[in-house]
Amino acid sequence: MKTVSCMNINEAILYSAGAEKKQYKKGDIIFRENDYALYYFQIAEGKVKLNNYNDEGKEFIHNILGKYQSFGDSLIFLNEQYPMNAIALTPVEIIRLSKNNFMELLKERPEISLEMNKCLAQKLYYKSLMIHNLASQNPVSRIKGLLDYLKSYHKEDAPYSYLVEITRQQLANLTGLRVETVIRFLKKMEKEGILKIENKKILY
pLDDT in tens, 38-70: 999 999 999 999 998 888 888 887 778 888 889
Model pLDDT, residue 6: 58
Average pLDDT over residues 107-122: 89
Residues 6+ apart with CB under 8 A from 121: none
| Mean pLDDT value across residues 90-106 | 97
Instruction: Provide the pLDDT for residue 178.
Output: 93
Q: How many CB atoms lie within 10 A of CB 5?
A: 17
Strand intervals (E) in the chain: 20-24, 29-31, 39-45, 48-53, 59-65, 70-71, 85-88, 92-98, 163-164, 196-198, 201-203
Residues 6 or more apart whose CB falls under 8 angstroms from that of 52 comprise 33, 59, 60, 62, 83, 84, 85
Mean pLDDT of 176-194: 95
Q: Please, what's the b/e burial string for 109-129 (b: 16 or more CB within 10 A of its CB; e: otherwise)?
A: eeebeeebeebbebbeebeee
- Looking at residue 2, its pLDDT comes to 42
Residue 1 is predicted with a pLDDT of 38
- Residue range 132-165, pLDDT digits in tens: 877 888 999 999 988 988 887 776 788 999 999 8
| CA distances to 15, 117, 150, 159, 185 from 190, in Å | 45, 37, 18, 12, 8
Highest mean pLDDT pick, 145-159, 163-177, 181-195 = 181-195
Mean pLDDT (whole number) for 92-120: 93
User: CB neighbours of 108 closer than 8 A, spacing ≥ 6?
Assistant: none
The pTM of the whole model exceeds 0.85? no
Which pLDDT does position 29 carry in this prediction? Answer: 98
Measured CA to CA, the distance from residue 55 to residue 63 in angstroms comes to: 20
Distance CA 38, CA 36 (A): 6
Taking alpha carbons only, the member of 132, 146, 127 closest to residue 185 is 146
Name the percent of the chain lying above pLDDT 90. Answer: 57
Instruction: Kindly report the average pLDDT of the chain as a whole number.
Output: 89
Beta strand extents in 32-176 (DSSP E only): 39-45, 48-53, 59-65, 70-71, 85-88, 92-98, 163-164
- What secondary structure letter does DSSP report for 204? -
